[in-house]
Chains A and B, each alone.
Chain A
């Protein structure tokens, strides 16, 4: 059985990282003048704006018109070769054969102990040809997984530029850009267009729970894409958006994030601080019909002996965001913590994702959330009542609607 695995050498001399101590996105020349706050966050060693002007305005732009978020720092791995499918099927918990060519699937992958390493998306580009995208870096783990498989794993984070165009006017913007047939794309579809002489890949995917697309080009064509997009979106309210607004959007959409709602298993030192897919509400991604996948044995055991935690959505009384709060039962028994929280402008509610101990967290259960807040440096505390809800806080029909309405 032949085994191929290699790491594509990255030419760091072109990145000037030794001067900046960080990578600049291929969109940097366009982001920099728009970044009025002149503040940069970091994402996987890339400079990434937290907000360009005002995170609240960017949030509303996404819910009402459309916004552009630079996805380039997301780690992107190209997985190809005769065994690409069996390789991925052993890597992730779900059945990858159900992701047809030209489709994208959400997935989660575990260590042998059944604890989640990360979640991400698998793009089925061609036969035996996939892309895996995630927040954390995983090259070592992906290469470890190649033993026994005829598969080539290549990191293409730096080579591939990507933008997320999200919001109700996103489809209209792309149509204006001349992308015929964009309205026919269903959620999780992939389609190819040309941008001048190069390829533009579009996927109807996103992290906002709204109508939206992700646009993928060679890093060399990044600026052309940005310019075309903003030109086309001029009358559709297009705005650049930073990470702070994205956080609000994804919590409303009920999407979990590594480092916020769970600790990636490979970055966790203390036992018991990680979570299984079951404990993150992702049991629908675990397919025991597959005879082998990383974590299968441990997850079968967990199914037998029971889970430790439930990840729940909370609808909390009042308007105070429940950041980092403890969660109690009505009898004041401590049962968990909030992992992500916000005041949701769209739901007009204080909402949160929380990890609570089993058996708590059943839909409809009443819990208490201990919220600390301050006004003009004066701290106060409130025990706010919270209800476990099953539906995500923002789930508009336009997210799935095909063709989307024209704005």
Chain B
């Protein structure tokens, strides 16, 4: 039995749980991580989905990993390496005249000179504004109603960062950060394929269409890692494994197949957790990387919380609208107009922005998109550890696929899967005959496999009203909770989802009592 006087339990061994464990263990805390699945990683895992074929079953591209986490935890020496970095994006055109986006330069798709010029300016200001979000990501959100001086300092720094953009950019930042990406792209560009491709930055992984407000904010959030797209060697699980290695080196205990069924209370303080098999583990501090609804309503129970807070947690918007397709292929797929080298790019199906909006429209009424959008990666092009020689793995984020499908996913999943494969076939004829095995994860499957309420992989919609001191809800936004000894460290907390690790790092600092953790490196 562990020393109950100073024992910290972390619920969930996803990347944020592991980051938090590593920092706390490094600071000398006695930490046990309890992961329900057979392997650590949560939605940042690599797993086999067909004999000999492995895939990043959740997130499949890495572009937000907190640089502080990577550096402070020395992930590069703990097993993290990349099969590909600074990936290009190729947006597929029906006629094979595809658009290739490399940073701020464009090739193909008959892009006009004015669009090329606009792209330079668009990237400039979007990256600049993303820098503001980046600085917010690495700090404990300040409270708005507060007696603490540190909160006021933090608020003042936030305001100063915005002011330092200068008159023109500050005005532009304030103008666009709350609006929709459709309007911003219409203002800047003409080329339909370009607008379609860029609009995905604002809507991938969310329950938004290009015309939904907050889609610019989502795009900025997505860019706020300030790094290019990359693929970890061995898939996304490599990130989690590296984190687990560091946490273990620092002295943390990590248990898998240990499903927490409830958080135990002694009076108004947590006293530990109970596992599904009835085992009780005592702890003075319990940190949950599970989503806020799971943490508060399922594991802790609404009756241990005050009613106003329960209502806020219930009202968190977190309905997934994204499916994940995995294909095991007998050989490399052949896309019209794409050469073998380009197969390793990030490939998009979003022919124009109206197409994306229409795809979203159907999901609003409980139907999946008849013509979905997709972000495709074929990691086996650069990483031979994922598929047998000569064979390939295709991974695609597909939307829209609403969590609450009117007809129910058990009835419609097969039809939707076929439709998505047919869509791929319209760009890659002959892909049908290459498929050895296919797997589609609907939001309901994602909810089940990754234990995320609503199957929303950000643990709650990313939006201005669910960010900073409002994430997941006031009175739990500084990683603490209304219950003594219970903390949050997952994507449901600031700064949200994506494989970042910032929530885990911020949480660890909040728990260790650091007032200001803004790093010196950035």
Point out residues on A near B: beta carbons under 8 Å. 1, 83, 86, 90-91, 111-113, 141, 144-145, 147-149, 291-297
Decide if B267 touches A291 in the complex (CB within 8 Å).
yes
Decide if A296 touches B314 in the complex (CB within 8 Å).
no
Decide if B265 touches A90 in the complex (CB within 8 Å).
no
Point out residues on B near A: beta carbons under 8 Å. 265, 267-268, 297, 301-311, 314, 475, 482
Closest to A110 in B: B306
Decide if B306 touches A297 in the complex (CB within 8 Å).
yes
Interchain residue pairs with CB less than 8 A apart (28)? A83-B303, A86-B303, A90-B303, A90-B307, A91-B307, A112-B306, A112-B307, A112-B309, A112-B475, A144-B311, A147-B307, A147-B314, A148-B297, A148-B301, A148-B302, A148-B310, A291-B265, A291-B304, A292-B268, A292-B303, A292-B304, A292-B305, A292-B306, A294-B306, A294-B307, A296-B306, A297-B306, A297-B482
CA distance A295 to B301 in the complex (A): 17
Please name the 7 residue pairs, one residue from A and one from B, whose CB atoms are nearest each other, closest first: A148-B302, A112-B308, A291-B268, A148-B303, A147-B302, A145-B307, A112-B306
CA distance A83 to B482 in the complex (A): 22
CA distance A296 to B482 in the complex (A): 10
Residue of B268, B301, B308 near A1 (CB, 8 A) is B301
Tell me the minimal C-beta distance from B425 to chain A in angstroms. 47
Tell me the minimal C-beta distance from A85 to chain B in angstroms. 12
Residue of B268, B308, B314 near A294 (CB, 8 A) is B308
CA distance A337 to B309 in the complex (A): 33
Tell me the minimal C-beta distance from B375 to chain A in angstroms. 37
Complex interface: chain B residues within 8 A of A291 (CB): 265, 267-268, 304
Complex interface: chain B residues within 8 A of A111 (CB): 308
Closest to B269 in A: A291
CA distance A297 to B297 in the complex (A): 19
CA distance A149 to B314 in the complex (A): 15
Tell me the minimal C-beta distance from A106 to chain B in angstroms. 21
Decide if B306 touches A144 in the complex (CB within 8 Å).
no
Among the interface residues A90, A147, A295, which one has the most CB atoms of the partner chain B within 10 A? A147
CA distance A101 to B115 in the complex (A): 78
CA distance A249 to B265 in the complex (A): 46
Complex interface: chain B residues within 8 A of A83 (CB): 303
Closest to A142 in B: B307
Complex interface: chain A residues within 8 A of B311 (CB): 144, 147
Tell me the minimal C-beta distance from B417 to chain A in angstroms. 35
Tell me the minimal C-beta distance from A274 to chain B in angstroms. 14
Decide if B306 touches A295 in the complex (CB within 8 Å).
yes
- Add 7 more A-B contacts to A91-B307, A112-B475, A144-B307 (CB < 8 A): A90-B303, A90-B307, A147-B307, A148-B303, A292-B268, A292-B306, A297-B306
Complex interface: chain B residues within 8 A of A144 (CB): 307-308, 310-311
CA distance A147 to B312 in the complex (A): 12
Complex interface: chain A residues within 8 A of B301 (CB): 1, 148
Residue of B267, B268, B310, B482 near A147 (CB, 8 A) is B310
Tell me the minimal C-beta distance from A17 to chain B in angstroms. 30
Closest to A91 in B: B307
Tell me the minimal C-beta distance from A388 to chain B in angstroms. 30
Complex interface: chain A residues within 8 A of B303 (CB): 83, 86, 90, 148-149, 292
Closest to B312 in A: A112
Complex interface: chain A residues within 8 A of B475 (CB): 112
Residue of B267, B306, B310, B314 near A293 (CB, 8 A) is B306
Complex interface: chain A residues within 8 A of B302 (CB): 147-149
Closest to B314 in A: A147
CA distance A145 to B268 in the complex (A): 18
Tell me the minimal C-beta distance from B473 to chain A in angstroms. 11
Complex interface: chain B residues within 8 A of A292 (CB): 268, 303-306
Complex interface: chain B residues within 8 A of A148 (CB): 297, 301-303, 310
Closest to B303 in A: A148
Complex interface: chain B residues within 8 A of A145 (CB): 307
Tell me the minimal C-beta distance from A258 to chain B in angstroms. 19
Tell me the minimal C-beta distance from B405 to chain A in angstroms. 24
Tell me the minimal C-beta distance from A94 to chain B in angstroms. 16
Tell me the minimal C-beta distance from B323 to chain A in angstroms. 30
Closest to A86 in B: B303
Among the interface residues A1, A83, A149, A291, which one has the most CB atoms of the partner chain B within 10 A? A291
Complex interface: chain B residues within 8 A of A113 (CB): 308
Complex interface: chain B residues within 8 A of A147 (CB): 297, 302, 307, 310-311, 314
Complex interface: chain A residues within 8 A of B306 (CB): 90, 112, 292-297
CA distance A91 to B308 in the complex (A): 11
Complex interface: chain B residues within 8 A of A295 (CB): 306
CA distance A145 to B314 in the complex (A): 12
Complex interface: chain B residues within 8 A of A293 (CB): 306
Complex interface: chain A residues within 8 A of B265 (CB): 291
Tell me the minimal C-beta distance from A358 to chain B in angstroms. 18
CA distance A295 to B310 in the complex (A): 13
CA distance A148 to B304 in the complex (A): 9
Complex interface: chain A residues within 8 A of B310 (CB): 144, 147-148
Closest to A112 in B: B308
CA distance A147 to B303 in the complex (A): 8
Tell me the minimal C-beta distance from B306 to chain A in angstroms. 5
CA distance A267 to B123 in the complex (A): 48
Closest to B296 in A: A148
Closest to B300 in A: A148
CA distance A112 to B312 in the complex (A): 11
CA distance A295 to B307 in the complex (A): 9
CA distance A340 to B304 in the complex (A): 38
CA distance A83 to B53 in the complex (A): 51
Complex interface: chain B residues within 8 A of A112 (CB): 306-309, 475
CA distance A35 to B254 in the complex (A): 77
